Each structure stands twice: as structure tokens, then as C-alpha cells.
């Protein structure tokens, strides 16, 4: 097993530490998850982001079990699916995820979406607070929450989500939401940090020349930009060489001018679902 990649760690509002760079496994075929996560652990990743709805928790768990890496050197996130929101159903969902992962606890448990069609995000949050106290989730947070949803939690609970995992990439930078949640103690995690490959990063003004000047790919520039913005990031890839490429972002630094050029490339372009969707 190679050494862990040299990612910075950030401190969550509960005092625990999270590696700022990891691997996401959305749309990873359950049959391939074990191989992919095994390779990621070999490359040096120690932070894996999965979810009940990805249906690959078992493969993730097998890779963890076979890796021999001490549990406290890993950071594993999973998420409560929308139809499991509530009290008893959320408790049962965490138990099921832990069983599939083969773990006694996850490092981070998230409410996956506010899911307005169920109207249970506050009740679910209160349950996550209990689950954290009981030890099944070391840290707790939310995903795809908008300001109003965060306000709903603040009105009902003293526990502030450790993170809010939202769509975030150079064409959709979420500056307003970040400015709101970060002073309140909620770190931002980016999903779709490479725009899910749904647009060409090289098309954004200045991006290609920044990459060329640093001798890096546009994907590496995007990942580095998230890190310098203080955002937690776990790009997804199933290919070992891209796992290596995506972690090879600690030997260069974007200049203030580079950061300003990328800031100006924001075009408020979502590539994924809106948090208020009622389709799922
Ligand atoms: P992403 O932005 O990480 O993009 C993944 C795409 O980029 C894949 O097609 C991959 O082949 C390509 N890619 C990766 N590295 C590359 C490289 N070096 N060069 C060229 N192409 C490269 O999109 P994502 O997977 O949606 O987001 C990352 C993670 O965020 C997910 O795996 C998942 O863990 C999480 N996520 C969460 C939510 C949520 O609702 N909370 C939603 C989507 C994703």
C-alpha cells in the first residue's frame, strides 16, 4: 500500500478532521466499486464519498476491509436517501448502510437532498443529531440544502451541519451560499467539481492558458481551484491514471490573478438537478 496522498485536512465544526481531497463514487457500477476503491486506496486516497442510492456501498466496504488500512486513517461518507427521511426510517437506513459498508460508524452522514416532496428535512436532521450522539455517524451534515433549508434546521436545532455538499464547479461557483453558510460553521463540499464532464473546462475564459502555464491539465486546475477556495472536493473517476492525475495537485499554486480569472468564469450554470426538484 502506498502512502496517503498529501492532501490538507480541514477541521469540521465538531472538531473532527476531514481530508480536503477524496474520491466520489456516484455512477460507479456496483460490480466495479470494489476494484475502483481498492485502486484509489492503493494510489493513496483515504476519503471516499458514497451514498445509499449509489448502490455500491457493499463494494466500497469490501475494498476497505481488504485494504488493511487502519479504520482511523479513512474518512467514509454516505448519505440518507430521500424516501428514508424521517425518524425510524432514517435510523434503519444508517444501520443498513453500516451493514453494507461493514463498518461500525461512518465519518460523515448526510441528508442527501432537502426533498420537499417529503417535508421531513427537519425531522431527519433531529434524527441525525441522535445518530451522531449514539456513535453511528461521527459527523453529520446535509447536501443540496439552500439557505431556507439551513434556516429551518437552525430554528429547530442547536447543531449546525458540519458540511453542505452542493453542486459546485468553475461554471457554478455558489458564492452566495458559501458566504452564507461558512461563517455559520458549515464547510462546503463540491459535487460535480469537474462539471461532470458536461462542458469543456477548457472553454472557460483563461482556463486553458492557466493550465498550460502551470504544466497541468484543466481538470487539475479545477481541483486545485477548489482546494484554494477552501472547498472539500472528491472528483470521480474509474481510471487509475486519472486518480493519480487528480491527486497530483500539490506541487503548484494558482496565483491571485489565476483565481480572479476563474472567479470571473462563473456563469451560474447548473449541470445537475435543482435542490427543489420533486422528481425524487
Ligand atoms: P465530477 O465533476 O467529479 O466528474 C466526473 C466526470 O469527470 C467523469 O465522467 C470522469 O470520467 C471525468 N473525469 C474525472 N477525472 C478526470 C480527468 N482527470 N480528466 C478528464 N476527465 C476526468 O462529477 P461527479 O461524479 O458527479 O461528482 C463527484 C462526486 O460528488 C460524485 O462521485 C459523488 O460522490 C458526489 N455527488 C454528490 C451528489 C449529491 O447530490 N450530493 C450529486 C452528484 C455527485
pLDDT digits (tens, 9 = 90+) for 128-154: 999 999 999 999 999 999 999 999 999
Q: Is the dihedral of CA 168, 223, 162, 129 positive or negative?
A: positive
Please give the grid coordinates belonging to residue 122: 427537519
Q: b/e string for 99-121 if b means 16 or more Cβ within 10 A? A: ebbebebbbbbbbbbbbeebebb
User: How would you classify the pairing of strands 106-111 and 23-24?
Assistant: unpaired
> pLDDT value at position 1?
66
What spacing in Å lies between the alpha carbon of 237 and ligand 1's midpoint? Answer: 7
Ligand 1 site residues (CB inside 6 A) read: 24-26, 49, 112, 143-144, 165, 191-197, 219, 234-237, 242, 245-246, 272
Query: Would the pTM count as exceeding 0.85?
Result: yes
> pLDDT value at position 2?
77
Decide if 45 is catalytic: no
pLDDT digits (tens, 9 = 90+) for 77-93: 999 999 999 999 999 99
pLDDT digits (tens, 9 = 90+) for 33-75: 999 999 999 999 999 999 999 999 999 999 999 999 999 999 9
CA distances from 134 to 13, 104, 128 (A): 18, 11, 10
Considering the candidates 54, 109, 118, 180, report the single residue annotated as catalytic: 54
Task: Name the residue with the closest Cα to ligand 1, atom 37.
Answer: 191
For the chain, list the domains and their CATH numbers: 9-199+230-251 (3.20.20.100)
Higher pLDDT, 20 or 280: 20
Amino acid at each position: 500500500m502506498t502512502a496517503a496522498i498529501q492532501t490538507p485536512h480541514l477541521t469540521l465544526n465538531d472538531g473532527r478532521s476531514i481530508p480536503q481531497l477524496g474520491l466520489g463514487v456516484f455512477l460507479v457500477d456496483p460490480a466495479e466499486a470494489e476494484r475502483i476503491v481498492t485502486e484509489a486506496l492503493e494510489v493513496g486516497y483515504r476519503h471516499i464519498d458514497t451514498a445509499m442510492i449509489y448502490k455500491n456501498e457493499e463494494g466500497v466496504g469490501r475494498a476497505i476491509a481488504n485494504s488493511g488500512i487502519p479504520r482511523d486513517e479513512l474518512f467514509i461518507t454516505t448519505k440518507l436517501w430521500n424516501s428514508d427521511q424521517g425518524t425510524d426510517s432514517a435510523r434503519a437506513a444508517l444501520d443498513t448502510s453500516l451493514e453494507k459498508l461493514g463498518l461500525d460508524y461512518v465519518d460523515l452522514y448526510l441528508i442527501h437532498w432537502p426533498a420537499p416532496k417529503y417535508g421531513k428535512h427537519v425531522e431527519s436532521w433531529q434524527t441525525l443529531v441522535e445518530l451522531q450522539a449514539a456513535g453511528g455517524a461521527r459527523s453529520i451534515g446535509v447536501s443540496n440544502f439552500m439557505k431556507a433549508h439551513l434556516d429551518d434546521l437552525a430554528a429547530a436545532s442547536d447543531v449546525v451541519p458540519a458540511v453542505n455538499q452542493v453542486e459546485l464547479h468553475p461554471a457554478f461557483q455558489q458564492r452566495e451560499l458559501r458566504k452564507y453558510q461558512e461563517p455559520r460553521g458549515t464547510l462546503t463540499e463540491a459535487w460535480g467539481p469537474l462539471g461532470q464532464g458536461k462542458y469543456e473546462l477548457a472553454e472557460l475564459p483563461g482556463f486553458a492558458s492557466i493550465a498550460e502555464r502551470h504544466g497541468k491539465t484543466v481538470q487539475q486546475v479545477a481541483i486545485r481551484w477548489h482546494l484554494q477556495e477552501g472547498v472539500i472536493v472528491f472528483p470521480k473517476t474509474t481510471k487509475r491514471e486519472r486518480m493519480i492525475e487528480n491527486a497530483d495537485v500539490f506541487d503548484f499554486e494558482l496565483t491571485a490573478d489565476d483565481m480572479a480569472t476563474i472567479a470571473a468564469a462563473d456563469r451560474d450554470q447548473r449541470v445537475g438537478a435543482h435542490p427543489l426538484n420533486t422528481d425524487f
